[in-house]
Structure 1
Amino acid sequence: MKIPFIGLLTACLIHICSIQAQETQATLTLEDCIEIALEQNFSVKRAELNAQGENIQYKQSRNALLPRVNADYNYGVSNGRSIDPFTNAYVTEQLNFSNAGLSLSATVFNGFRLLNSLKQSNLNKAAAGMEVEEARQNRMLDVTLSFLQVLNARELVKLAETRLLTTQEQLKRLEKLNEEETGNPSDFYDLQGQLTTDQNAITDATNSLNNALEDLKFLLNTDAEIEAENLVLITEFENQQLSADGIYEQALQSLAAIKARELRLEATAKGVAVARSQYIPEISLFANLNTNYSSAARLFEETGNQLIETADFVSISGTDYSVFTEETQFESRGISYTDQLNNNLNSTVGVSVSIPLFNGFRAKNNVQLQKVEQSRAEVALAETKRALKQNIAQAYNDWDAAATNYELLQEQVEAYEKSFAINEARFNLGVATSVEYITSKNRLDNARINLTNTHYTYLLRDKVLEFYQGNAIR
């Protein structure tokens, strides 16, 4: 009997440890939520893909500085009357032909268009990297705000449940007095109405909590269930040491959004320089190497001499004698493919100068378009800075007001707790009416709700100000 008992005890211990491990794994801190969101967020992935495209564009601009080398080769068959590429004579036969070539070109000077394009691509690549960090920072802030909203909603649910529990306890007491016909029936019915109000408050608070959890799940891009009780906030808040202007100055140096807009502005300035290069002549070097092959090409070799009678004659003493001539004999044979390619080699080297005289005002229009893009980038940077300054000022004011209100509401809750304790005692003794009891209870409950909302408003604004100062959200 001991062995089964030990086995059962061991199984129970393993089961308990498993449950504890699951609970530990289910716990989510703010850092955990941020990490999950950054791994699975679409806006971050989109920014990363844009950065990859800009990096490829930069490589392409850098490689454009290299010389261009191209090779071409063709082989074909021609029937009927055609030109022999070996002799440039007309032939009427099946002709096999082939051409091969190698060309090299290099830009020597084009108004620094290639260099400015390279610098522009480098700036765009750096801006895209900043935009990835901007997307990450924005997602971190969004998750932080949503996380705190869930915690706030969770606390409001707990307060609503506490209110309901207090009302239920009083209702049980009044129900017993009502059954004994020793209490005031109107107090009992007043508490019944208050019970419904408290139940509705739980329903509304629970609905707000569920919506806050759905918002957090959306930001984390997960379908897994998130329990509000498993969210843990590990942080310590300190008073802000800087003013709103001081925080704004730090934000200008730390926020990726500002750096990205500044880099985009620099890139558009380079774009103007690239467009202006269309006014300047372009100087290039070129070289070509070509050869060809023709099946009609023949090589004639001397095979000897032969006397051939001509139509001419000479008369000697009245006798005609035929005239013979010595003719060299030749034998033709085809020239091999490789020999023709080697024998027909020709090369060309030169300098090319392209001078823009008139191109339908294309260069002028391109310069103007790039200047418009530069103005847009300037507006975007100024707009971002202006919005940032306003957001920081509002966040700082909200933080300062929340800090002040939090201290005042703490005093209010303490006062209402004492008032409620007195009214509850008087109500239990039958001295106070249900109206006085419910009024005192509602004042205390509303004060606690306001205190909770103010507390999380303070935490939220404090996190926002930490974010603007470039501090890691934790």
Structure 2
Amino acid sequence: MKKLVILGMLAPLFTAAQQPLTLPDAIDIALKNSLDIQVAKNNVQRNEVLNSYGVAGGLPTVNANANDVEQITTINQEFANTARNTKRSNVATNNLSANVTGSIILFNGYRVVATKNRLEELEAQSRQLLNAQVQNILAAVMTAYFDVVRQQGYVKTIDQSIQVAQQKLDIIKTQQTVGLANNADLFQAQLDVTALIQTQAQQQLVIAQAKTELLRLLTLKSDSLITIQDTITVDKGILLANIEQRLASNPDIVAAAQQVAINGYIVKETASQRYPSLRANGGYNFVYNKSAAGDTRLNNSYGPTLGVSLAIPIYNGLAFKRQQRAAEIDVKTAELQRQTLVRDYSANMVKNYQSYTSTLQQLEREQTNYGIAQQLLDLVLKRFQLKQATIVEVRQAQQSFEEAGYRLVNLNFAAKAAEIELKRLGSLLQ
């Protein structure tokens, strides 16, 4: 698991000084603040506490008991020897007893062993689920971080388009001063500038909302101010074979396999209830009975005890047998769930790799296409300045440039998202 960097003062620093938030910073903050990870850690600690022979029932149990009863009674005793007859009222009596008892299981159908193994498997499973939660948080934070970068990339394209629209408007104004342009072109150019400024404002809202989502994943205040100055760089060296090899070690799949083992131990625990149970018992008893009248005035006994007890289940309505059959069905269900998870993860891996490779190929072509669109726009704008192109041609070239810019940013993000998901499936995020 990635080592956590303590950044207790980092979040206020971003708010106060407006330093750029980098991806490593975002990951460290998420790992430190994530409530989901804290819950998963608590589950690990809980299962660590429960994983003991005492909880499994393999250690002795010792109990101490004491009882003291003061009583006022009426005694009426008659004997063959009438001289011994006693008849008295309001006789004070005291009954005091105390004992310490200890007990330990000698045999109960290996239930203690099965329970201890189940507790160990539960602890191991909780650690795998913690690892899975860490990978999920890392993937979510990285995707949200690069989504902000993507949305900011749209703004850069819009800003360039606004500059072109403003140049177009300036050219028309210059041409109009010498009588080479009409009001229709002027009005259209003004509308184009206004429309792009509106688009820019709308995109700023999208960026703000993307940052809010990132702040949610970082468990920071939703109104915190952060700036991100980054680009999307895609790792182009991922191989499907490497992800396939690591898929078996995916913590979700490992946890599913552990659930099969856990259910198997529950079968053994349930089956053990059908076997005899042998227990060793020992202790020390003390009894003190005192009466102010009657045949027995004092009775005091004390001493150690030692013995064994044997319990043999004979019949309980076949409840244990039915519980065992139900537990065996749970094992089959857990195995089917594991197979389903492996199937889904394998399909997800292949689909993301297909998206990854296809997007990389498109990305190379789109980078060339974007350069051509930029050159075309510059050329058409120069021709427009020389009255060799119309305003419609400028708008078409401008639109082609914007679409190429959007596609380039989208392909970069799509490739990065596929890369992140592939690394999550292979537990390679850090």
TM-score (norm 2): 0.87
> Higher mean Cα deviation, 385-394 or 284-293?
284-293
The CA distance in 2 between the partners of 1:82 and 1:439, in whole Å, is 118
Q: Which residue of 1 aligns with 2:309?
A: 352
> Higher mean Cα deviation, 215-224 or 201-210?
201-210
Residues 1:131 and 1:82: Cα distance change in structure 2 (over 3 Å): farther
Residues 1:441 and 1:56: Cα distance change in structure 2 (over 3 Å): same
The CA distance in 2 between the partners of 1:124 and 1:456, in whole Å, is 38
- Cα contact 2:377–2:397 (8 A) shared by 1: yes
The CA distance in 2 between the partners of 1:124 and 1:188, in whole Å, is 73
Aligned-partner SS, 1:230 = coil
Q: Which residue of 2 aligns with 1:291?
A: 286
Q: Which residue of 2 aligns with 1:43?
A: 36
The CA distance in 2 between the partners of 1:174 and 1:285, in whole Å, is 104
- Cα contact 2:53–2:59 (8 A) shared by 1: no
Equivalent runs, 1:3-402 vs 2, <5 Å = 26-59=19-52, 61-62=54-55, 64-81=57-74, 92=89, 93-223=91-221, 225=223, 227=225, 229-232=227-230, 237-240=235-238, 242-243=239-240, 245-253=241-249, 255-296=250-291, 344-402=301-359
Aligned-partner SS, 2:416 = helix
1:447 lines up with 2:416 in the alignment: no
Deviations 1:27-68 (A, max 9, x none): 222121122112222221222222222223223655621112
The structure with the largest alpha-carbon Rg is 1
Aligned length: 407
- Cα contact 1:268–1:373 (8 A) shared by 2: yes
The CA distance in 1 between the partners of 2:405 and 2:155, in whole Å, is 12
Aligned-partner SS, 2:308 = strand
The unaligned stretches of length 5 or more in structure 2 are 1-12, 77-85
Letter in 2 for 1:394: K
The CA distance in 1 between the partners of 2:235 and 2:362, in whole Å, is 16
The CA distance in 2 between the partners of 1:105 and 1:297, in whole Å, is 37
Deviations 1:202-259 (A, max 9, x none): 133222212211111111111165556435469673422x22x541221222x21112
- Cα contact 1:213–1:226 (8 A) shared by 2: no
Deviation at 1:172, TM superposition (A): 2.6
The CA distance in 2 between the partners of 1:390 and 1:56, in whole Å, is 38
The CA distance in 2 between the partners of 1:215 and 1:79, in whole Å, is 76
The unaligned stretches of length 5 or more in structure 1 are 1-19, 84-88, 299-333
1:458 lines up with 2:415 in the alignment: yes
Identity %: 20
The CA distance in 2 between the partners of 1:73 and 1:286, in whole Å, is 18
Deviation at 1:181, TM superposition (A): 3.4
RMSD: 2.8
The CA distance in 1 between the partners of 2:242 and 2:330, in whole Å, is 32
Residues 1:46 and 1:231: Cα distance change in structure 2 (over 3 Å): farther
- Cα contact 2:102–2:281 (8 A) shared by 1: yes
Letter in 2 for 1:58: N
Deviation at 1:180, TM superposition (A): 4.7
Letter in 2 for 1:378: E
Residues 1:214 and 1:184: Cα distance change in structure 2 (over 3 Å): same
The CA distance in 1 between the partners of 2:279 and 2:87, in whole Å, is 37
The CA distance in 1 between the partners of 2:18 and 2:397, in whole Å, is 43
Deviation at 1:164, TM superposition (A): 1.2
Deviations 1:66-122 (A, max 9, x none): 112111112221112379xxxxx9985111221111112111111000110010111
> Higher mean Cα deviation, 191-200 or 209-218?
191-200
Q: Which residue of 1 aligns with 2:82?
A: none
- Cα contact 1:237–1:462 (8 A) shared by 2: yes
